[in-house]
Amino acid sequence: MAISGGPQRFSGQRMLLILLGIVCLGLVAGALYFQEVMGQAPCPLCIVQRYLFLLIALVAFVGASFSSARVNRGAAFMALLIALVGVGVAARLVYVQGHPAAGCGIDVMQLWTDAIPLAQWMPTLFQATGMCGDVYDPILGLGMAQWSLTAFVAIAVAVAIGCWKARRRPRRSMFR
């Protein structure tokens, strides 16, 4: 007996959302690896980026849990907006690391990120312990901030293309 509603019933938009959520969780897991194993302390801007990656994952998984194409498109659009905010935050961090005098250091942002209840409940994941101007050894030629910027840009581009393709699909006529 075949199970109804299996993987063949997922639309391309839903698969994109599921993949997007998995990728974002993987990026946060990678950041935790570099923090705990490689000793790279996260700065306040890094923590904000973690929140954004997790928010994208949450929006993507919630959106994918609905079979409505309209909900899927709405979730993808929200993920796109969050990714664009992430591009701005990551670009700021790249700028700060390139111009140490512009560093964010211990400032209001760190007080704010550390005061969020999630930082109290899960300090390993959400508490800023580093400085934004700290630059660690590059990975394949790019620093962590540049990789994060690349990830947010890739997410934004992939979601924008997915939204565009979903919008351009011919709609079925009810008279067909």
In a domain, 137, yes or no: no
Q: Going residue by residue through the chain (176 aa), what tens digit of pLDDT does each one get?
A: 344 444 445 567 888 899 999 999 999 999 989 888 988 888 888 888 999 999 999 999 999 998 888 888 889 999 999 999 999 999 998 988 887 776 555 566 676 676 677 766 776 667 777 777 677 777 788 888 899 999 999 999 999 988 777 665 555 544 44
In a domain, 88, yes or no: yes
In a domain, 22, yes or no: yes
In a domain, 5, yes or no: no
Query: Which residue, chain included where needed, has tokens 């709609």?
Result: 171
Domain count, the chain: 1
We report the CATH number of the domain holding residue 80 as: 1.20.1550.10
In a domain, 16, yes or no: yes
Reference 44, options 143, 132, 147; nearest CA is 132
In a domain, 38, yes or no: yes
C-alpha gyration radius of the chain: 19
* Domain ranges, residue 106: 12-123+145-168
Global pTM exceeds 0.95 = no
Q: Name every residue whose Cβ is closer than 8 Å to that of residue 35 and which is 6 or more positions away in sequence.
A: 41, 42, 124
In a domain, 140, yes or no: no
